[in-house]
Amino acid sequence: MERFRARHKQPENDYNVDLDEAVKPENLTGDGEVRAKASGAIAAELVRYAGLDENSALARYATTGRGRNEELREEYLLIHHDPSAPEPIRELVAWFASGVIAAENTYGRFPHRPHGQTPSLRAILWETSTGEGKEAIAVNVPADTPTEIIRRLRDRLTPLLDELGAPFEAFLKLPDVNATADNLQKTFQDFYIGSFDDREALVRELTEYNQWEEEITKLCHQHGIPEGVVTIDLDELWHYVEGGWDIIPGIDGRLHVFMT
């Protein structure tokens, strides 16, 4: 990046941030993202590189530190997909996008990467939606996916949604499921455990709850302990279950469970 700057005489940014230093591992956040000030400086650098005006999403971000990825990506992906863009500029795009997506996604950035490693937009999944109105569904797509492909994704997923129903729609919300992948049906079938009406039904099925309950009842009878004094703490057991499986509430009101 230093060689690129020297060759192209890029002006200093208003943030007084050295972008070469900003992306070094020791200067990143604990989550491995560039810091807010550096993110604004990168946005300003991209605005200058692409010749964007002050009303662009990236320019507004550079000024305010605020912006939605849905709008920002329309501009930074033009740079990312431009084969003539220098690699250092493309790396700045990746760092910027990674930070914006990590802040916006429900589950943060996924997947995790080694601290200090330059991001890859193809590897980062962005939480968005496809479809209009009541037909819209939540999905995760690679961060470099063109907007038009995301728009058409609902039609591509419709046959699987019709066949597999609410459990499949819940599956698409998992942070590590790429909705543009070709093997979605097989992956769903490999990882789907089942669907349950409520927490208790789920816990009873996925643990030895019923056996434990019987043993407790026998023990209480043997020692004259009144019924109901010794019980299983369902809330504590729920925390255990949450740590062992992926559980997604569905549009049908049921809990859909998948292997982690």
Domain chopping of the chain, boundaries: 2-104, 125-187, 191-259
Contact 140, 157 (CB under 8 A): no
CA dihedral 215, 221, 225, 226 (to 10 degrees): 100
pLDDT at 14: 66
Contacts of 11 (CB under 8 A, 6+ apart): 48
Residues in Cβ contact with 27 at an 8 Å cutoff, skipping those fewer than 6 apart: 21, 35, 38
Q: Please report, rounded to a whole number, the percentage of residues in the chain having pLDDT higher than 70.
A: 95
- Residue 216 is predicted with a pLDDT of 85
Q: Which residues of the chain fall below pLDDT 70?
A: 1-14
